[in-house]
Each structure stands twice: as structure tokens, then as C-alpha cells.
Amino acid sequence: MKSVLEPVKPKAINLLDFDRKGLAAFFVELGEKPFRATQLLKWIYQEEVEDFDLMTNLSKSLRVYLKENCYIATPEIVIEQIATDGTRKWALQTSCGNRVETVFIPEEGRGTLCVSSQIGCALACTFCSTAQQGFNRNLTTAEIIGQVIVAQKRLGPEKKITNVVMMGMGEPLLNFDNVVAAMNLMMDDFTFGLSKRRVTISTSGVVPAMHRLTQVCDVSLAVSLHAVTDELRDELVPINKKYSLKELMEACRENAKIAPRRTITFEYVMLDGINDSVQDARGLIKLLKSVPSKINLIPFNPFPNSAYRCSSKEAINRFKTLLNDAGIVTTVRKTRGEDIDAACGQLVGQVEDKSRRHLKIKPVGSEHAA
């Protein structure tokens, strides 16, 4: 497969930027039948063929056109790290010179790929290392689905990607169209064929996009919550200043109506003396009362110059017990890949910051410490 670092014609089209619907529209514009999209998807994703001349069920004239005007390119792996627990992290080079990170987490009977959606992140959540890097741009659909392609090729047939979580670098719902197209490709029967229950999109609470998502794409939803009051969440997750907890919960309830038997996962990073009290746990129970929920408690993973400490095991277990006793399924996320900085909140890549947002970050810390 062509590297993004290789030169291409200025107006050449990367066919990985299209999901099936987009590819069908592309072929119709060329005067071809829509079913050409299915044929091409099978060649690229199932047969792993990138040479248009070998796509024998396409007409010769179409193959010539594709060869002259289109290409197939994924980000290139430039660094690979393997943790002691088997977690793998790849730094992937993009066409603009920046790098993003992708993580594969092997478990018994499953393999989860954590995929990035942006180069950096503009949301400035104070407990997340990615946010400290600033923001460069959105990833293209090709760069998002390309992470799945290169990871599966690198892993080989003996390690299968069974789940994808859009929880890498960036806020997925701020790159809505490209992320949705990539998720459509992940679930397409002619590509990876993942179940909608096995594709999860995580958001910090971009409420208008959450409403829009319910209309166009049925995937599992995870919400980065981390606080039960607007006052604290305004500091930890600054987008809360724009979309309050009340608005966020309303969007969650709307999403839950799509698949009543499915729960929404709420991610809650455990910060010592900040959001881990008995009062916080009870507030969380009250907040989620009318939302079908499961809670994923995330022990805070440190990074340089962070103002936070991870909650003690005792505090985490106490918090978990209170939630479980209230009937909310609650688990503590096992920290994976920490020795290669592949754990939750540690992905940094290589970002040329265009927003300078990271220079304005004011960490929360001592004023909340016990």
C-alpha cells in the first residue's frame, strides 16, 4: 500500500476517504454503476489488493481512470513499542509531518484497537496528556480507517481486531463527518464487518454532535464524564462551560432510545482528593438515575508536569462498591501499556500546535486536594 509520504498528483483522490455510500456516489459521477463501490471495497479491504490493474472485474477503462486519478494510501508506522503486557503502540506518520498514536490491547478472546481522530486535541482537559500538545487538524477518513488497516496488517492473522474504540488522540465528534465515514467502513460487511456493539465512539460532551449522531450512525457511546457538578467539570473538562451536565444527560437519554437494551458507558478518571469522595459517588448515582449506564472507573495515569495524583486503591474500591450497591454496573479499567505510555490519557504523538490552546491550560490541583 502506498505510503502517505510518497508524492501523489495534486488532485489525486485517496479512495480510503470514502465509505460505501460515498464511493457509490463517486462512481455514479463517473457514469458507472453504484455496485462498483462494493467491488472496490472487497478488493481493497478483503483481498488487500491495491494495484488497480489486478481488479479484474472492473472494466479496463475504469481501471485506467483509477490508476491515473486515484490512489490508496495509509499512514506509515514509524515507531512500534510493545509493552510487557502485550499492548502495542504505533506512532503513525501523517502527510503533514505530524504523528498520531494508535494502541492495540490484546485480551482473552478479543483484541481492541484504540484509534485517534485528530492530530492533538483542542478541548484542553486538564488530566489528559494529549490535551497538553495542542491541536493541529482533523484526521481524514483515510487516516482514521488507515489506522485499522495498518494495525491489522502488522498484527497478522493470528491476532484479530475484534473491537474498535474511538478513544485515541482528539475529540471524535469535532471531526464528525470523517469519523462517521470511518466507522461506517469498520462496520461494513465488505470491509472489516465489525458489529455496531463492537465499535465505540467516545466524547467529552459535544452535545449538538451527539444529537446528530443518533440520526446517522448507530454505534456504542462512551461519555467522558469525570465530575458530577458543573463547577468541577468546568475545570476538568472545559467544554462543559458550553454544554452543561444537564444538556449532556439529555443527549445521553436521547441516544439511549436508539437501542434500549444497550447501555452508555461513562468514563470517570479517579483523581485523588478531587472527584473520588463518597459524596461524589452519591452524586454520580443521582446524575445517572434515568440513563441506562455502566461506569468505567479509570485510575489516573500520570504524565510529566501533571498536577494530579491517582486515587488510592481504597478510595477506588469504595467508590466502586457504592455504585455497584446502587445497581450500576461498575468496573475499574485495568491499566494497560503504562510502561510505553499507551495507557488512557497518555497518547501524545507529535503535534505542531496551531491553536496555541495548550499555552492557556490552567491545571486543577491543590485547591481541590484533601
Residues that are catalytic: 101, 344
CA 229 – CA 237 distance, rounded (Å): 11
Cα of 177 vs its chain's centroid, Å:
14
CA 342 – CA 324 distance, rounded (Å): 28
For the chain, give percent helix, strand, coil, nearest 5: 35, 20, 40
CA 131 – CA 133 distance, rounded (Å): 5
- Say if CB 170 and CB 139 are below 8 A apart: yes
CA 51 – CA 49 distance, rounded (Å): 6
CA distances from 44 to 15, 47, 243 (A): 9, 6, 40
Pairing outcome for strands 163-166 and 70-71: unpaired
Q: DSSP readout, 214-239?
A: HHH---EEEEE---SSHHHHHHHSGG
CA 66 – CA 124 distance, rounded (Å): 41
Residue identified by cell 490508496 is: 72
Cα of 208 vs its chain's centroid, Å:
18
